[in-house]
Amino acid sequence: MIRLGVNVDHVATVRQARRGHEPDPVTAAHEAELGGADVITVHLREDRRHVTDRDVRLLAQTLQTPMNLELAVAADVLALALEVRPRLATLVPERREEVTTEGGLDVAGQLESVRAAVARLAEAGVATSLFVDPDPRQLEAAARTGAAQVELHTGPFAHAWRAGAPDPELTRLRRAADTALELGLRLAIGHGLDYRNVVAVRGLPGLEEMHIGHAIVSRALYVGLREAVRQMKALLGPP
Ligand code: PXP
């Protein structure tokens, strides 16, 4: 059974459009849990453009499901992760000018700083996942950091799927999934997944977890968040 991690950043984005109090991503996370989310994902960006420290602290206190905290390898966000100790910390690249995360983390190019972050999180009892492109060089580097898991970046696959030619990207993902398994890394995927393209990737070998935000929060506008999560869960398999 593949676990569904629901990313509620997009709810926080709507709140920040007015810099007000609603909609509250903490309430949304609880609704997502009631719809069957297995994990709640939030990205604490260095610029705090959507999710805030308050959100992360409240989620840590009130979630019934595990939290997956996405963060860059940067001192202040790492300090909050060490304070709240989510079940999983996913290290992601971050550029201030980007609209959303673009490209995977260059683990091979910054092996020592990633390794140090993974070690500090492990000391606090937090497992680490690395968000990487489906590239064997990055996966081999990921295995050398001591991280427990990788999350393969499915953004390029989602674009290719929309353009009607997903096969080369699907092949890349399948090969990367095999490599991750050979290296003893647990496997998650995420970015750009929706109610249609998810069917093409749910059978990846060894896949344990998916992280999906935009598609679920978008559908929630029409059907409500519980129902939107329930519909996505139904696509991931039994029961
Ligand atoms: N995984 C990671 C590492 C991400 O940065 C994001 C986007 O915040 C997601 C998954 C979810 O992507 P989407 O909102 O496109 O479903």
What is the atom index within ligand 1 of the atom nearest the CA of 101? 5
Predicted TM-score (pTM) of the model is 0.96
- Listing DSSP states for 149-176 in one string gives EEEEE-HHHHHHHHTT--HHHHHHHHHH
- Map tokens 């926080």 to a residue: 12
> What's the one-letter identity of residue 77?
V
What pairs with residue 39 in β-bridges? 5
- Report the Cα–Cα distance between both ends of the chain, in Å, rounded: 8
Ligand 1 centroid distance, CA of 5 (Å): 10
pLDDT for position 238: 72
> CB of 192 closer than 6 A to ligand 1?
yes
Residues 214 and 222: their CA atoms lie apart, in Å, by: 14
pLDDT tens figures, 77-106: 999 999 999 999 999 998 766 666 678 999
Residue 170, CA distances (Å) to 20, 157, 201 in order: 41, 7, 8
190 φ/ψ angles, rounded to the nearest 5 degrees: 180, 160
pLDDT tens figures, 182-237: 999 999 999 999 999 999 999 999 999 999 999 999 999 999 999 999 999 999 98
> What's the one-letter identity of residue 214?
H
Other C-beta atoms closer than 10 Å to the C-beta of 21 total 7
From 50, 191, 209, 211, the catalytic residue: 191
